[in-house]
């Protein structure tokens, strides 16, 4: 006989349906993302408003590790460096947003630089922003995982014959050259000083796509609709991840997990090796965002209560269309002769009163993963 173990408490909040407006988004001058990369070529295609691509000395290579089911570009040495002609002169403002993962955090690595007439005007390492005669350290709140880094700068206008944006290297204050060792998944370069609202839209898009939690922040869509309210959900703002679609940014995230931990993964339809392998339809403006309370992964049996994990997840959903999902839980010691249950509190209170809860027994077990299949998500509470 199988023993019953109740795990993974989830509860749900709904917000209004998303409506899209592209007028809130300023397209970047340069925009490189790994899903536009052709490893048979020596360049990285630019999908920004200018047609220039980033050229490399060698064939581009993908990293062996994905970032939230997305491939990324691997950088190892000088042969990995990519150079793109910057299409605007004179340069007075520069905003760069980069998603990267450092392989070795014990030493400093150059990530990108901007060259004016072959002299470095500014550059970024994994520890500081460099200017011609100064530098500005920035704290890495999370070590050893992918991060989103934002740099916004202004300069005195100087016309030049040559401006180039370089990925994978940076000149250090001692005049040495530092080459990046790690992965870059996406890089956006703007010829303007981005405002806070513009940055938040882009950060939210990247955070959902790559499973990177924003620090003490709301998540918003391209039209500024709130997808995750930090003030209301502060207790559950750990390891935030999600799925959703926003065509303004080309976001079509069909499955997601936090890069901070691989404990909970949710996918539209069925979880696949890569996001591009998943072909399940997700409606425009449909989102499912989740985070947990950082509780322990333990529970105590009691005659008066249901034995649930102390860790609870809050699900915040946007849109009303039905979305079939698969839930995958990573557990270190999975026992095949044991039932595992997903418990959903429909009240949205997180109290997990038995009268408000639905219970779903696991569908399958594979290695260290427990799967719950065909859970429907819609506003009629047929599922999430």
pLDDT in tens, 20-30: 444 445 678 89
Average pLDDT over residues 371-378: 77
- Flag whether pLDDT at 379 surpasses 70: no
Highest mean pLDDT: which of 224-228, 297-301, 343-347, 365-369?
Answer: 224-228
* Mean pLDDT score across all residues of the chain: 85
Residue 271's pLDDT is: 96
pLDDT-derived band of residue 37, with 50, 70 and 90 as boundaries? confident
pLDDT-derived band of residue 7, with 50, 70 and 90 as boundaries? low
Residue 297's pLDDT is: 84
- Flag whether pLDDT at 184 surpasses 60: yes
How far, in Å, CA of 141 to CA of 215, rounded? 9
Pick the range with the lowest mean pLDDT from 234-238, 286-290, 316-320. Answer: 316-320
Bridge-based pairing of strands 147-158 and 135-137 is unpaired
pTM, two decimals, is: 0.91
Residue 248's pLDDT is: 93
Average pLDDT over residues 281-301: 88
Residue 334's pLDDT is: 65
More confident of the two residues 319 and 142: 319
Share of the chain above pLDDT 70, in %: 86
Number of H helices and number of E strands within the chain? 2, 29
Residue 269's pLDDT is: 92
More confident of the two residues 51 and 182: 182
Residue 91's pLDDT is: 82
- Flag whether pLDDT at 210 surpasses 80: yes
- Flag whether pLDDT at 336 surpasses 70: no
Residue 349's pLDDT is: 81
- Flag whether pLDDT at 2 surpasses 80: no
- CATH 2.60.120.200 domain residues, the chain: 27-193
On whether the CB atoms of residues 313 and 264 are closer than 8 A, the answer is yes
Average pLDDT over residues 266-276: 95
Residue 132's pLDDT is: 79
Token representation of residue 112: 């990108």
- Flag whether pLDDT at 383 surpasses 50: no
How far, in Å, CA of 86 to CA of 349, rounded? 51
Note the pLDDT tens digit of each residue in 70-116.
999 999 999 999 999 987 777 889 999 999 999 888 889 999 999 99
Is the bond into 90 cis (omega within 30 degrees of 0)?
yes
pLDDT-derived band of residue 280, with 50, 70 and 90 as boundaries? very high
Residue 103's pLDDT is: 87
Average pLDDT over residues 56-64: 86
Under 8 Å CB-to-CB from 379, ≥6 apart: which residues?
A: 14, 317, 320
Residue 298's pLDDT is: 80
On whether the CB atoms of residues 192 and 26 are closer than 8 A, the answer is yes
Average pLDDT over residues 290-316: 80
- Flag whether pLDDT at 4 surpasses 50: no
Pick the range with the lowest mean pLDDT from 154-168, 182-196, 251-265. Answer: 154-168
Topology of domain 27-193 in CATH is Jelly Rolls (2.60.120)
Residue 23's pLDDT is: 42
Residue 352's pLDDT is: 83
- Flag whether pLDDT at 250 surpasses 60: yes
Compute CA distances 367 → 67, 265, 267, 308, whole Å. Answer: 21, 15, 18, 22
């Amino acid at each position: 006989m199988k023993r019953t173990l109740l795990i993974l408490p989830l509860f749900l909040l709904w917000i209004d349906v998303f409506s899209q407006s592209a007028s809130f988004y300023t397209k970047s001058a340069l925009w490189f993302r790994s899903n536009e990369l052709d490893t048979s070529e020596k360049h990285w295609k630019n999908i920004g408003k200018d047609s220039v691509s980033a050229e490399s000395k060698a064939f581009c290579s993908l990293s062996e590790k994905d970032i939230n089911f997305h491939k990324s570009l691997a950088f190892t040495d000088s042969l990995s460096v990519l150079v793109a002609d910057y299409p605007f002169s004179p340069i007075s403002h520069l905003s760069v947003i980069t998603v990267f993962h450092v392989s070795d955090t014990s030493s400093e690595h150059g990530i990108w630089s901007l060259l004016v007439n072959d002299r470095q005007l500014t550059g970024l390492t994994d520890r500081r922003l460099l200017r011609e005669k100064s530098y500005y350290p920035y704290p890495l709140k999370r070590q050893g995982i992918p991060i989103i880094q934002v740099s916004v700068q202004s300069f005195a206008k100087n016309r030049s014959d040559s401006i180039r944006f370089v990925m994978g290297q940076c000149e250090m204050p001692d005049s040495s050259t530092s080459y990046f060792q790690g992965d870059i998944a996406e890089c956006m370069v703007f010829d303007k000083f981005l405002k806070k609202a513009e940055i938040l839209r882009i950060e939210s898009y990247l955070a959902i796509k790559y499973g990177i939690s924003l620090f003490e922040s709301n998540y918003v869509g391209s039209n500024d609709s709130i997808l995750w309210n930090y003030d209301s959900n502060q207790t559950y703002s750990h390891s935030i991840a999600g799925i959703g679609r926003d065509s303004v940014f080309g976001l079509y995230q069909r499955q997601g997990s936090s890069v901070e931990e691989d404990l909970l993964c949710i996918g539209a339809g069925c979880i696949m090796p890569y996001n591009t392998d998943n072909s399940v339809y997700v409606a425009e403006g449909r989102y499912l965002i989740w985070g947990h309370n950082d509780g322990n992964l333990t529970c105590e049996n009691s005659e008066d209560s249901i034995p649930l994990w102390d860790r609870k997840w809050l699900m915040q959903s946007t849109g009303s269309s039905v979305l079939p999902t698969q839930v995958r839980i990573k557990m270190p010691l999975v026992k095949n002769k044991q039932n595992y249950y997903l418990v959903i509190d429909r009240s949205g209170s997180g109290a997990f009163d038995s009268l408000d809860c639905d219970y779903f027994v696991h569908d399958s077990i594979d290695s260290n993963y427990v799967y719950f299949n065909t859970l429907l998500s819609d506003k009629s509470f047929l599922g999430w």
